[in-house]
Structure 1
Amino acid sequence: MQGAPLPIWLYRAAANIVAPLAYRRVAAKLDAQGISPTRQKERMGRATAARPKGRLVWFHAASVGESLSVLRLIEHLGQALPDTSFLLTSGTATSAQVVAKRLPPRTQHQFAPLDASRPLRRFLSNWHPDAAVFVESELWPQMLTRTHDRGIPLALINARISEGSARNWKRFPETARYLMNHFRMIHCQDQRTADHLHDLGLTQAEAGQNLKSLAGPAPYDAAALAGLQETIANRPLWLASSTHPGEDEVMLAAHKSVLQDNPDALLILVPRHPERADTIAKQITDAGLTPARRSKGDPLTATTQVYLADTLGETGLWYALSPLTCLCGSFTPVGGHNPFEPAHAGSAILHGPLYANFAKTYPELDAAGAGIEVDDAKALATELDKLLKSPDRLDTLRDNARRFAAAQDDVLDAFADTLCKALAMR
């Protein structure tokens, strides 16, 4: 491979200089989210778990969605490679807390090392992976080059490049090609990303299935589900999942409209980031609605109008409970969230118009009769009211959602086999 271009050298120098300051910032953030000082040091490459014997495949993902998208793939790889263990790294406290409850056999989690020479040297010397798999757009220059320099084969899966990133990359094509040519395999989650990479001369990039469609149903506590079903009984129920700032107001406004014709309706509101719960709780009361908050142990009673589900790791419970989900991250420029988990659970899906991260998936979802696009609070309230008053139509949407999700499962084993061959694991 050709030598590193000048921007890479400049980046390396700057990243190594600012690493101590960067660590203080990320450690403070992890501390505020309840991560112990010992585990915070993983960000400096200091392992808090022993490397298992035998072959080890390292998966690196950015945050919750990316981490969850590969768990089922790791499970299939584990079945195909019984002598192999797996390490999953990510950068956020939320991702660590969520995946801890869902790790496949022979898999452990660590926080990713900072993209600086000393943390990466410690990390690679401790774990010395036999192969490395990077997920979506989590491409740290030193992490890639130092891993590659140790002779470790690399793959990029579920690659996604936004239009803005593509424009930036094309301003520095030599740098982009230098980084991306570290990968033996580049699997893109959509043709748009593959086209952008082909424009840069990266012929190994191929479009394929979005791995988030293969993640399977989210787990949940069956006893908790039964208890909530008994408590809620026959009340009209809908779920606002993974809200971001600017979306909670839309959900609450829609619910106030729903309550006019459905006075006992219940909204379960799940923020994408539970640390926003105090702000959202105030928004609920300011809207004149009666809240209960799960993290505080508030009872869900007949007078509760909004149940603020501000806990981690229970998304599967809410999808299994609710027949109707408004999937957020699509009413503000976040790009949308994975629709396959609610679809697997048989929850009909409403969503906003801003879903750039799933530009292919959402139109297919809607065309399959499993989802409906709405533009704002008024349109959302209209669709909610129609569906809550039409059980047969809602049941049809739910059945279509299940079929849409089930149809995605067939390619996972083939993809795992392709990845094994690319990384010389077979």
Structure 2
Amino acid sequence: MSGRMARFALGAYQATGTLLTPFVGGYLAYRAAKGKEDHARRLERSGYASADRPAGPLVWFHAASVGETNAVIPLIREIRRRDIHVILTTGTITSAKLAAERIGNDAIHQYVPLDLKPAVSRFLEYWQPDCALIAESEIWPATLMELGRRRIPQILVNARMSDRSFERWGRRPALAEALFENLALVIAQSDVDAERFRDLGARHVMMSGNLKVDTDAPPYDAEVFADYKKQLGGRKTWAAISTFDGEEKAAGIVHRALKERNGQLTIIVPRHPERAEEIEAELVKLGLKVARRTRGDALAPDVDVFLGDTIGEMGLYLRLTEVAFVGRSLFAEGGQNPLEPAMLGCAVLSGSNVQNFREAYQKLARRGSARMVRDTEMLAKGVHYLLTNDDARRNMIEAGIGAVQEMRGALTATVKGLEPYINPLTVKARLLPKAAVQR
């Protein structure tokens, strides 16, 4: 595909988005009925604002879901310390709840507009951001083109490029270049990510490390934690976190295989808590008794599985154990972030499909704090070994904490890279009266 054809394709994409706009209302209503959209706020997805635009400089952060939102929270706080206003957009109900809990008044939250030219134009016309910071791997053509047309600097932060995405973009190099040339800066997680963005046409690229290492440990309710610890007594525990379809059943099979020898409690925290009913039914079929966090069930001695079907309580679940299997890695692909369990003092187990977090796993494995398993049987052996071998478990925990400490520094590097864009906004913000608000 030539450069001319690439631009024609992008123009056709935008035109198609405009033609589809009349059908957006029905599409969003359908998704809201399925629980995939916030019914009361679904107009935000069409670019209609539900909050006032504050006067003065404004930076737009976009983080697709929970992981990306957690990653940019320290950066949002850094921007706010400079008296610059922040609007944060996310794409899921789960991430919106997390933003409300962990960011509060530090940012205005809106749902991200659909990648349709009218919705994006409406959003940008109202909010008029001075800069757009997009987390990780969110590449939306209409949004990038509209930001470029308005000459709003757009920067990818904590940027990563998965094997699959790199291969897909590599088959359309002219299209990739036509999009990525709109980026003022790419701040990549690793040297591999940086090189991939350069290959695909990004002009200015730097490497910072992973912002997820510089996030605070996830919070928890100390009173609730103390109550659960009392209920557990000295009972052994292990957790399967950020699980996807098939991995909850695998955790149940592991529990059943080890129950007679260890009498352990298995904690399962699915990536999508709305699947809790389906997961519970599957575990009950295995003959397991399930306690659910949302029901406030007690962790009685005969409970097999504690199902963590809530949002924003990973800090609680991980503090209840010292062994954590990280999901989306045994049957699904891509992996999930292993850094939270490592920083909270867990020995980490994972399947081998961790392409999206390859560098983090490599660094943890090099230190001896993460182990990979091929299948359910190997997972059972790994869990049993760590539950019964105190020295090995403690060594992995200490190695993980050390690895996380070594990996820190991404926030400082990212802020330094952003200075040419943020410093002028800081000066402007501090020259304006803080109380003024404009519509």
Question: Could you tell me the TM-score, scaled by structure 1's length?
Answer: 0.93
Q: Write out the 4+ residue segments of structure 1 that deviate beyond 6 Å after TM superposition.
A: none
2:409 alignment partner, SS class:
helix
Q: Distance in 1 between matches of 2:170 and 2:308?
A: 43
Q: Distance in 1 between matches of 2:21 and 2:191?
A: 36
- The alpha-carbon deviation at position 230 of structure 1 amounts to 1.0
Asked if 1:173 corresponds to 2:143, the answer is no
Verify the 8 A CA contact 1:19 1:114 in the aligned structure 2: no
Q: Distance in 1 between matches of 2:317 and 2:31?
A: 28
Which position in structure 1 is the counterpart of 2:378?
379
Q: Distance in 2 between matches of 1:168 and 1:367?
A: 30
Which position in structure 2 is the counterpart of 1:162?
162
Q: Distance in 1 between matches of 2:24 and 2:333?
A: 25
Q: Distance in 1 between matches of 2:183 and 2:46?
A: 25
1:313 alignment partner, SS class:
coil
2:142 alignment partner, SS class:
helix
- The alpha-carbon deviation at position 86 of structure 1 amounts to 1.0
2:209 alignment partner, SS class:
coil
What is the aligned-residue identity percentage? 35
The total of aligned residue pairs comes to: 422
Q: Distance in 2 between matches of 1:171 and 1:353?
A: 26
Which position in structure 2 is the counterpart of 1:133?
133
Structure-2 change in CA distance of 1:23 and 1:409 (3 Å) = farther
The CA RMSD measured in Å over matched residues stands at 2.0
Q: Distance in 2 between matches of 1:371 and 1:47?
A: 44
Alignment of 1:47-58 (within 5 A): 47-58=49-60
Q: Distance in 1 between matches of 2:138 and 2:290?
A: 38
Verify the 8 A CA contact 1:75 1:104 in the aligned structure 2: no
Opposite residue 12 of structure 1, the aligned amino acid is Q
- The alpha-carbon deviation at position 331 of structure 1 amounts to 0.7
- 162-171 vs 265-274, which deviates more? 162-171
Which position in structure 2 is the counterpart of 1:230?
230
Which position in structure 1 is the counterpart of 2:220?
220
Opposite residue 244 of structure 1, the aligned amino acid is F
Verify the 8 A CA contact 1:270 1:310 in the aligned structure 2: yes
Which position in structure 1 is the counterpart of 2:48?
46
Q: Distance in 2 between matches of 1:293 and 1:421?
A: 49
Verify the 8 A CA contact 1:38 1:48 in the aligned structure 2: no
Q: Deviations over 1:101-148 (max 9, x none)?
A: 111653121100111222222211221111101112211111112122
Q: Distance in 1 between matches of 2:228 and 2:421?
A: 46
Alignment of 1:95-106 (within 5 A): 95-103=95-103, 106=106
Q: Distance in 1 between matches of 2:29 and 2:333?
A: 26
Q: Deviations over 1:49-105 (max 9, x none)?
A: 1122221110112111112111112122323x1x21111101111111122111165
Which position in structure 1 is the counterpart of 2:67?
65
Q: Distance in 2 between matches of 1:276 and 1:227?
A: 26
Which position in structure 1 is the counterpart of 2:342?
343
Q: Distance in 1 between matches of 2:167 and 2:150?
A: 31
Structure-2 change in CA distance of 1:282 and 1:38 (3 Å) = closer
Which position in structure 2 is the counterpart of 1:367?
366
Gaps of at least 5 residues in structure 2 are 427-439
- The alpha-carbon deviation at position 323 of structure 1 amounts to 1.2
Which position in structure 2 is the counterpart of 1:333?
332
- 241-250 vs 11-20, which deviates more? 11-20
Which position in structure 2 is the counterpart of 1:415?
414
Question: Could you tell me the TM-score, scaled by structure 2's length?
Answer: 0.91
Q: Deviations over 1:178-225 (max 9, x none)?
A: 211111111222333323233234342233302222223111111111
Q: Distance in 1 between matches of 2:273 and 2:73?
A: 22
- 315-324 vs 412-421, which deviates more? 412-421
Q: Distance in 2 between matches of 1:115 and 1:386?
A: 48
Structure-2 change in CA distance of 1:23 and 1:170 (3 Å) = farther
Q: Distance in 2 between matches of 1:34 and 1:40?
A: 10
Q: Distance in 2 between matches of 1:153 and 1:97?
A: 28
- The alpha-carbon deviation at position 416 of structure 1 amounts to 1.1
Opposite residue 313 of structure 1, the aligned amino acid is G
- The alpha-carbon deviation at position 26 of structure 1 amounts to 3.4
Verify the 8 A CA contact 2:267 2:305 in the aligned structure 1: yes
Verify the 8 A CA contact 1:319 1:325 in the aligned structure 2: yes
Alignment of 1:184-223 (within 5 A): 184-223=184-223
Verify the 8 A CA contact 1:216 1:340 in the aligned structure 2: no
Q: Distance in 2 between matches of 1:22 and 1:246?
A: 33
2:335 alignment partner, SS class:
coil
Opposite residue 15 of structure 2, the aligned amino acid is A
Which position in structure 1 is the counterpart of 2:437?
none
Q: Distance in 2 between matches of 1:74 and 1:307?
A: 34
Q: Distance in 2 between matches of 1:148 and 1:132?
A: 11
Verify the 8 A CA contact 2:135 2:157 in the aligned structure 1: yes
Asked if 1:321 corresponds to 2:320, the answer is yes
